[in-house]
Structure 1
Amino acid sequence: MKGLSEQFGVDERDFSWKLWMLLPIYPFGRRRTIRREVVKDTIWTFEQVQGIFYVVVPIRMTVVKLQAGGLLVYAPVAPTPECIRLLKELVQKHGDVRYIILPTISGLEHKVFVGPFARKFPQAEVFVAPNQWSFPLNLPLSWLGFPSGRTHILPEDSSQTPFADELDYAILGPIPLGPGTFEEVAFFHRRSHTLLVTDSVVSIPETPPEIVQLDPYPLLFHARDTLSDQVEDSKANRRKGWQRISLFAFYFRPSAVETIPLGQAARDARHAPDRSRKAYFGLFPFKWKKDWLRSFEALRGDGRLLVAPILQTLILNRAPQETLDWAYHVATWDFQRIVPCHFDAPIQASPQQFRQAFTFLEQQPAIPEGASGSFSLPEEDFALLKEIDESLSKRRIVPPPKGKV
Structure 2
Amino acid sequence: MQEHDGHVSPTNTSDWTWPFWPIVPIYPYGQRRTLRQEVVPDWIWTFDQCQGILYVIVPIRMTVVRLEAGGLLVYAPIAPTRECMRLLRDLEARYGQVQHIILPTVSGIEHKVFVGPFARQCPEAQVWIAPDQWSFPVNLPLSWLGLPRQRTRALPMSGNTPFAQEFDYAILGPINLGLGPFEEVALFHRRSRTLLVTDCVVSVPEQPPAIIQQDPYPLLFHAKDHGGEIVEDQMRSRLKGWKRIVLFAFYFRPSALEVVGTLQSIQDAFKASDRSRKAYFGWYPFRWQDTWEASFETLRANGQLFVAPILQTLILNRAPVETLNWVERVARWDFQRIIPCHLDAPIQATPEQFRQAFAFLNPYGDLGRLPMDDLDFLQQIERSLSQRGITPPARLNRP
TM-score with structure 2 length normalisation? 0.96
List per-residue Cα deviations over 1:223-251 (Å, max 9, x = no partner): 01111111111111100100000000000
Match of 1:126, SS?
strand
Give the counterpart letter for 2:64 in structure 1: V
Look up the match of 1:10. Answer: 11
- The CA distance in 2 between the partners of 1:90 and 1:9, in whole Å, is 17
1:392 aligns with 2:385: yes
2:369 is matched by which residue type in structure 1?
S
Distance 1:220 1:19 in 2: 27
Which 10-residue stretch deviates more, 9-18 or 57-66?
Answer: 9-18
2:228, 2:282 within 8 Å by CA — same for their partners in 1?
Answer: no
Q: Partner of 2:4 in structure 1?
A: none
> d(CA) in 2 for partners of 1:51 and 1:249?
9
Aligned to 2:282: 282
The residue type equivalent to 2:391 in the other structure is V
Return closer, same or farther for 1:404/1:44 CA change in 2, 3 Å cut-off: farther
Contact kept, 8 Å, 2:197 with 2:341, in 1: the verdict is yes
Secondary structure class of the residue paired with 1:274: coil
For 1:99 and 1:404, the matched residues in 2 are separated by 41
Deviation, 1:375, is: 4.9
The verdict on how the C-alpha distance between 1:260 and 1:198 changes in structure 2, with shifts beyond 3 A counting, is same
For structure 2, list consecutive stretches of 5 or more residues without a partner in the other structure: 1-8
Task: Please name the residue that 2:373 is paired with.
Answer: 380
Alignment of 1:356 with 2:393, yes or no, is no
Question: Where do residues 237-276 of structure 1 align in structure 2 (5 Å cutoff)?
Answer: 237-276=237-276
- CA offset digits 1:4-53 (Å, max 9, x no partner): xxxx9832101000111111000000000000000010000000000000
Secondary structure, in 3 states, of the residue corresponding to 1:60?
A: strand
SS at match of 1:278: helix
> What is the aligned partner in structure 1 of residue 294 from structure 2?
294
**CA distance in structure 2 between the partners assigned to 1:72 and 1:228 by the alignment:** 48
In 2: Cα distance, 1:102 partner to 1:404 partner: 33
1:361–1:404 contact (8 Å) kept in structure 2: no
Structure 2: distance between partners of 1:296 and 1:153: 39
For structure 1, the residue ranges without an aligned partner over 5 or more in a row are: 1-7
Distance 1:337 1:381 in 2: 29
In structure 2, the residue matched to 1:181 is: 181
Q: Partner of 1:145 in structure 2?
A: 146
* Structure 1 vs Structure 2 CA RMSD: 1.2
Contact 2:72 2:92 in 1 (8 A): yes
> Are the equivalent residues in 1 in contact too, given 2:223–2:244 (CA < 8 A)?
yes
Contact between 1:60 and 1:342, CA under 8 Å: does it hold in 2? Answer: yes
Q: What is residue 123 of structure 2 aligned with on the other side?
A: 122
Contact kept? 1:171, 1:186, Cα under 8 Å: yes
| Pair 1:262–1:9, CA change in 2 (3 A) | farther
- Point out 4+ residue stretches in structure 1 off by more than 6 angstroms: none
Residue pair 1:74, 1:103 contacting (<8 A) in 2 also:
yes
Find the aligned partners of 2:324 and 2:263 in 1 and give their Cα distance: 45
Residue number in structure 2 paired with 1:3:
none
Looking at structure 2, the residues matched to 71 and 9 of structure 1 have their Cα atoms a distance apart, in angstroms, of 24
Amino acid across the alignment from 1:260: V
User: In the alignment, residue 395 of structure 2 is paired with which amino acid?
Assistant: K
- Residue 270 of structure 1 deviates from its aligned partner by 1.2
The 1:375/1:384 distance shift into structure 2, 3 A limit, reads closer
Deviations 1:255-275 (A, max 9, x none): 011011223212221111111
Counterpart of 1:402, as a letter, is: R
- Write the deviation string for residues 307-335 of structure 1: whole angstroms up to 9, x where unpaired: 00010001001001111111111000000
Which one-letter code corresponds to 1:152 in the other structure?
A: R
Equivalent residues in 2 for 1:155-234 (5 A)?
A: 155-158=156-159, 160-234=160-234
CA contact (8 A) 2:116 2:148 kept: yes
Distance 2:341 2:396 in 1: 29
Q: Structure 2 counterpart of 1:348, which letter?
A: Q
Q: Give me the whole-angstrom Cα distance separating, in 2, the residues matched to 1:261 and 1:79.
A: 40
Percent identity over the alignment is 63
What is the TM-score normalised by the length of structure 1? Answer: 0.95
Q: Equivalents in 1 of 2:215, 2:296: separation in Å?
A: 22
Is the 1:362–1:404 contact (alpha carbons within 8 Å) kept by the matching residues of 2?
A: no
CA displacement at 1:291 relative to structure 2? 1.6
